[in-house]
A and B are shown apart, each in its own frame.
Chain A
Amino acid sequence: MYDFSKITGAIHNWLSSIMPDLGVIITEWVLIGVVFLAFFALLGLILVYAERRIAGFFQFRLGPNRVGPFGMFQTVADTVKLLLKELVGTKEADSFLYNLAPYFLIIAALMSMAVIPYGFNLVAYDVNIGLFFMMAVSSIGVIGILLAGWSSNNKYSMIGAIRSSAIIISYELSLGLSSVLAMVLLAGTLNMNEIVMSQQAGWWLFRGHIPAIIAFIVFIITGTAETNRVPFDLTEAESELGAGFHAEYSGIKFAFFFLAEFVNMFIISAIAVTVFLGGWLPIHIPFWDGFNGIMDYIPGPIWFMIKTSIVIFILMWFRWTFPRLRIDQVLTLEWKYLLPISLVNLILMAFVVMMGWVF
């Protein structure tokens, strides 16, 4: 295991040797902020490119292929275009709230990213309520969506915002009950790092067998709904609403919403990987000691990124497979099927943990 606290500790010691305590604190705040913003933007670029290439793959076409090798710089070019575009707003809108709304989504996404463990001791904010903190912070994003829809002074934006917040508020229940509670019962802790460390003997998805697999399926469905992706993308159904709650945003403000949506997909995948798939721990197969030894040489962050990419690929696969649902179908699915299933699953999980039927 590569211990990243050695690197971060070395940076801390070096900073303490050249400046006073206050300077060290402020420099570290700025450093972590810059690192996370850079990671955030890079993630957006890569995910948009991946989405377009995968869309092409599923539809038997190439996708972006002109700018750079394999069209890799297409999203960079798109970003430059978005940055240079004129910012157009609506005349009668409440401009303060209109400009403020994108930041709610961005800040909620950034704060969630802070508690994800990317490697051994590689986490920005190691808090004892990690998973609960993520659920709490992501609930702030809803207010951004509502404000964006309302302050645009456009009925299509308003309908999109109401649909989006209705979906997010109702699916949050199943997300919390299935993933957080059921898996926390297994792991016995809310700390993200400790959840990963508790999976050294095997991933919870396999060790928790039936209830864990039910929880994983419910988590993936509700996670797709939380990020407003197909088949739950009726919030921005192009054919009826234009673009939903961000219809009136242009240029860089639109890019904020777009970026937050893709980063939220990464966050959902990161939670799935951390809670169900062993986080940054390498793949181990029982009794294959040589194979396990080789796997141990690959650093944790690489494992984390590989596993997260696989879950992201599954979410993108959904997008090109399922047709869009109606709002009543979406809410029926949550309240009549997923919520009862996850409640029963929670009781089942408690029973399994009580009887010690965990591998």
Chain B
Amino acid sequence: MGAQIMFYILATVIVVFSFLAVTSRKVMRATVYLLFVLLATAGLYFIIDYNFMAGIQLIVYAGGIVALIVFAVMLTEKIGDKIESPSNMQMILAGLISIAGAGVTISVLLGHDFKQSTQNIGQNVATIGENLLNYGKDGYVLPFEVVSILLLASMIAAIVVAKRKFEN
């Protein structure tokens, strides 16, 4: 019962603030609306007891990505001013495309026969860690290592970029 009430509250928050995030004409406010959407998504993960995923959602999206977006927005010009509203033609086209996209998504969601999962989704942090390092069947060691190499490459690239600017 409590979970249902919270689900409807969070769902309303997600819908309302997603809409506000794309229609707001002030960049900083749009960022904050996006933050609310991401926080509410974390709340949904908490409802289904997938706490680790919710923690990741909070620390990566709410704490990391949004802070990064706020920094990026601060570097742009005239953040306090309202952005000019787009021309009517653009608005009509964008509206049509959005309706088409929403229609496709909703029809797929309604048409799909969802089954309740019987698999253990691994709420335990230890299980997630073991799965990440498992090289047997159903293991995730390959994607884990690929992502590690990507991370290493981007870290080295960041150092190189920062260093070159420093010398000039």
Contacts and interface: CB of A to CB of B under 8 A. Distances in A.
Contacts of A136: 55-56, 58-59, 62-63
B13 interface: no
Nearest to A93: B80
A127 B51 contact: yes
B51 A94 contact: no
A129 B59 CA distance: 13
B67 A142 contact: yes
Contacts of A22: 1, 5
A169 B67 contact: yes
Interface string B27-42: 0110010010001000
Nearest to A135: B59
B70 to A, nearest CB: 5
Interface string A251-282: 00000000000000000000000000000000
A97 B63 contact: no
Contacts of B29: 94, 96-97
B95 to A, nearest CB: 26
Interface in A86-104: 92, 94, 96-97, 100
A153 B80 contact: yes
A130 to B, nearest CB: 9
B2 A25 contact: yes
Given A94-B80, A97-B28, A143-B35, A132 B52 contact: yes
A39 to B, nearest CB: 22
A interface majority secondary structure: helix
Interface residues of A, number: 29
B166 to A, nearest CB: 14
Given A25-B2, A94-B29, A169-B67, A150 B74 contact: yes
Interface string A149-170: 0110100000000000100010
B134 interface: no
Contacts of B58: 133, 136-137, 139-140
Interface string B70-107: 11001000011000000000000000000000000000
B2 A92 contact: no
Contact of A100 (B2, B32, B63, B67): B32
A105 interface: no
B124 A165 contact: no
Closest 6 CB pairs of A and B: A139-B63, A136-B58, A136-B59, A25-B2, A136-B55, A129-B51
Given A21-B1, A132-B125, 11 more contacts: A94-B26, A94-B80, A96-B29, A97-B28, A127-B51, A136-B55, A136-B59, A139-B58, A139-B63, A140-B39, A146-B67
Interface of B: 1-2, 5, 26, 28-29, 32, 35, 39, 51-52, 55-56, 58-59, 62-64, 66-67, 70-71, 74, 79-80, 123-125
Interface of A: 21-22, 25, 29, 92, 94, 96-97, 100, 127-129, 132-133, 135-137, 139-140, 142-143, 146-147, 150-151, 153, 165, 169, 190
17 contacts: A29-B2, A92-B80, A94-B26, A97-B32, A129-B52, A132-B55, A133-B51, A136-B59, A136-B62, A137-B58, A139-B62, A139-B64, A142-B67, A143-B62, A143-B66, A150-B28, A150-B74
